[in-house]
Amino acid sequence: MMLWRPTKPCWATAPPRRTLSSAGESAGGGLAVATLVNARDHGLPLPAAAFVMSPYADLTLAGATMDAKREVDVLMSRENLQSRVSDYTSGHDAALGLISPVFADLSGLPPLIIQVGTHEVLLDDAVRLARQAAIADVEVTLDVTPRVPHVFQSFSAILDEGAAALDRAGQFLSAHLAGAERVTA
């Protein structure tokens, strides 16, 4: 049996951080932020910026819009989110910052753009995450689009608001990615 072992840690040969960004949507948005927190805590290089869409950032489900937006959110509900919390937390406290980044210390994170629609039960997760980032002196852009559903950017081919939001996120990321090639559609 042969085992391959790298001679250097993977981050030692990674591209310069100014050429990388992090992104995620829904649960992946919360995970992207938690990953940044964990990388920072372990002294790993951080990307130049991060882009999260409709982040599921509070697995305690304490956001005010869990109830306030339930009638207009056709995709998500407290009940369907609650049914998966134990899968994600695996017996750990859902209020831990690495599980629910709205409770994490976000200081030292790279600039963030957080996009969300007003017809989402996760609207408050995005607003509270942006507030936590601002309190921690992180450059943060909260981009709220009226009357659109959860992860509306995925409908960009048929939803003008989705295409416009992706354009705004692209401009944000381009401004933070030194040496990145500009891609236009």
Task: Name, in order, each residue with C-beta under 8 angstroms of 121's C-beta and a sequence gap of 6 or more.
Answer: 63, 65, 66, 69, 70, 73, 76, 77, 78, 81, 150
150 is catalytic: yes
Catalytic-role residue among 22, 100, 150, 176: 150
Q: What are phi and psi of 81, to 5 degrees?
A: -70, -45
42 is catalytic: no
Query: Of 161, 133, 171, which is closest to residue 57 (Cα–Cα)?
Result: 133
154 is catalytic: no
Q: Which two tokens stand for residue 124?
A: 């408050």
Exposure string for 90-123, b = 16+ CB within 10 A, e = fewer: eeeebeebbbbbbbbebeebbbbbbbbbebbbbb
**Beta-strand relationship, 49-53 and 112-117:** parallel
The CA distance from 85 to 79, in Å, is 10
Catalytic-role residue among 26, 100, 119, 176: 26
Strand order in the sheet with 112-117: 21-25, 49-53, 112-117, 140-145
Task: Give catalytic residues, as residue numbers.
Answer: 26, 120, 150
